[in-house]
């Protein structure tokens, strides 16, 4: 398989024209690439993990050829400034997703490198949508220069929380239409710079009770989220470009049941994929879990081997967590699931095709 590190990502807009298109796409698109990959190599593309620095990243990538790495607040930033992340990506037959949380405001993981911007709420208060696109494009260019390819931003939550609450000023507004406009222009600015944006936290964290970092979060019933938290996604995913979606650890009455967070809920994932019943378009882009190992909403209930598998089986494409410790064990668990028939090869192939499209390896 040829590397496509410098290739431009393909748009997803044509891929979401029909809810039935993903299965057909896996058959028609990417067949040569898939045929050259072992099952474990395919499964490895479904994993993005946090790394402590260059050595940690190099070891896990060379050992298991995972799909990507996450640069967190704890990561030695020399992995970026030295060019190590870019070189590591180029050394792989399939380029890495090099990911980061760079929303602006208090979620600015690269502020130590001089990459910063106001919070989403401050941007919406002080700038026009066009100006926000320019800000995001500037951020994106700085990320791209460091070898980053994916930004887990913008936050598309609808919230009127005080600024320092869990979502708070990470949200552009408590008005769904304002969130839609500003999140869309922020994402467009990132794409202008060649960075893949990721909308979060589907199906909406803005009115949830609690913080998924410390425990269970319950949102208002689905009937309420449809008229508020889910409104931005109805427009943003109509023409998503190369944007992904991150699914949060959110229990939504009337959708997920009383004990199952959306990140591991087949019903929540199906709603995202089909657009039903919330009235959105079908989405065939890359779906990420929120962090599966460092957030108590999941980690206090499931070991990472189980949580990652549950997220993929539910319908996600990429299981995200913040340490490299259990990567091989997670891959072992996924392989056992395929052998047992509880996770099908066809299902894995569909995710791999989406990921390769997002990376610019496939253009079909």
Catalytic residues: 213, 290
Pairing of strands 97-100, 150-151: parallel
Asked if 263 and 292 count as a contact pair (C-beta separation under 8 A), the reply is: yes
Q: Which residues contact 272 (CB under 8 A, 6 or more apart)?
A: 202, 203, 233, 245, 247, 280, 283, 287, 315
Asked if 233 and 280 count as a contact pair (C-beta separation under 8 A), the reply is: yes
The Cα–Cα gap between 314 and 292 comes to 14
Pairing of strands 107-108, 102-104: antiparallel
Q: Helical H runs in 193-314? A: 222-225, 231-236, 266-274, 296-299, 304-314
Place of tokens 């990721």: 198
Asked if 240 and 198 count as a contact pair (C-beta separation under 8 A), the reply is: no
Tokens describing residue 106: 């208090």
Burial 60-69 (b: 16+ CB within 10 A, else e): bbeebbbbbb
Tokens describing residue 79: 């992995």
């Amino acid at each position: 398989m040829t590397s496509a590190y410098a290739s431009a990502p393909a748009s997803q807009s044509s891929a979401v024209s029909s809810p039935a298109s993903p299965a057909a796409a896996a058959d028609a698109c990417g067949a040569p690439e898939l045929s050259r990959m072992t099952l474990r190599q395919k499964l490895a593309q479904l994993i993005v993990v946090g790394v402590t620095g260059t050595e940690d990243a190099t070891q896990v990538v060379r050992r298991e050829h995972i799909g990507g790495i996450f640069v967190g607040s704890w990561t030695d930033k020399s992995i970026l400034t030295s060019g190590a992340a870019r070189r590591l990506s180029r050394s792989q037959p399939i380029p890495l997703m090099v990911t980061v949380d760079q929303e602006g405001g208090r979620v600015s993981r690269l502020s130590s490198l001089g990459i910063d911007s106001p919070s989403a709420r401050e941007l919406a208060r002080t700038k026009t949508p066009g100006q926000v696109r320019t800000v995001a494009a500037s951020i994106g260019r700085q990320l791209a220069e460091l070898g980053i390819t994916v930004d887990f931003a913008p936050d598309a939550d609808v919230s009127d929380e005080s600024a320092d609450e869990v979502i708070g000023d990470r949200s552009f507004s408590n008005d769904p239409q304002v969130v839609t406009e500003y999140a869309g222009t922020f994402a467009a600015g990132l794409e202008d710079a060649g960075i893949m944006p990721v909308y979060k936290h589907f199906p909406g964290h803005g009115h949830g009770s609690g913080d998924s970092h410390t425990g269970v979060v319950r949102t208002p019933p689905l009937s309420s989220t449809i008229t508020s938290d889910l409104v931005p996604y109805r427009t943003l995913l109509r023409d998503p470009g190369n944007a992904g979606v991150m699914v949060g650890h959110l229990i939504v009455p009337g959708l997920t049941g009383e004990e199952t967070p959306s990140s591991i809920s087949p019903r929540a994932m199906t709603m995202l994929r089909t657009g039903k019943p919330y009235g959105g378009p079908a989405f065939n882009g890359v779906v990420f879990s929120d962090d599966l190992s460092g957030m108590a909403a999941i980690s206090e209930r499931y070991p990472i081997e189980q949580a990652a598998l549950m997220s993929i089986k539910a319908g996600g494409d990429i299981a995200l967590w913040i340490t490299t410790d259990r990567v091989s064990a997670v891959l072992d668990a996924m392989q056992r699931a395929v052998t047992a028939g509880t996770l099908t090869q066809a299902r894995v192939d569909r995710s791999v095709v989406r990921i390769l499209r997002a990376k610019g390896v496939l253009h079909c």
